[in-house]
């Protein structure tokens, strides 16, 4: 059965990682303030901590999280970068989310 809390946690985790990487990107590529590195580092620490909140083994969490990260990054591409995703972007995201669902929500034996 789909655990909406796990999906929500994955989404928050993905946002923390993307923000943690985007802020240094702004400093390096867009020549914004180096002070962006402080919230960027805090966001990456939050990201790492959030990954520990799942009860599943770490490898399974990381593998399943990857699918949510891909879909979140494509959404970021559209909403923050202002680039409309292509059909291929959306198809890849859907495949990644399907992979996440298979990995994370499959019935476990034993």
63 to 28, 29, 44, 73, 82: CA distances (angstroms): 29, 29, 18, 16, 28
DSSP notation for 23-77: HHHHHHHS---GGGHHHHHHHHHHHHHHHTT-SS-HHHHHHHHHHHHHHHHHHHH
* Spatial separation of the C-alpha atoms in residues 27 and 40, rounded to whole Å: 10
- Which pTM does this prediction carry? 0.88
Give the integer Cα–Cα distance in Å for 20 and 50. 13
Q: Which tens digit of pLDDT belongs to each residue from 13-62?
A: 999 999 999 999 999 999 999 999 999 999 999 999 999 998 888 888 89
At residue 1, does pLDDT exceed 50? no
DSSP 8-state assignment for residue 80 = T
- 55-90 pLDDT, tens digit each: 888 888 899 899 999 999 999 999 999 999 999 999
Residues 6+ apart with CB under 8 A from 56: 64, 104
């Amino acid at each position: 059965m789909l655990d909406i809390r796990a999906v929500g946690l994955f989404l928050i985790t993905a946002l923390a990682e993307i923000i943690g990487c985007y802020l240094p990107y702004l400093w390096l590529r867009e020549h914004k303030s180096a002070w962006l590195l402080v919230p960027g580092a805090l966001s990456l620490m939050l990201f790492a901590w959030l990954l520990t909140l799942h009860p599943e083994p770490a490898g399974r969490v990381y593998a399943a999280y990857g699918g949510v990260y891909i879909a979140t990054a494509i959404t970021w591409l559209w909403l923050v970068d202002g680039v409309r995703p292509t059909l291929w972007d959306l198809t890849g995201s859907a495949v990644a989310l399907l992979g996440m669902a298979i990995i994370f929500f499959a019935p476990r034996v034993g």
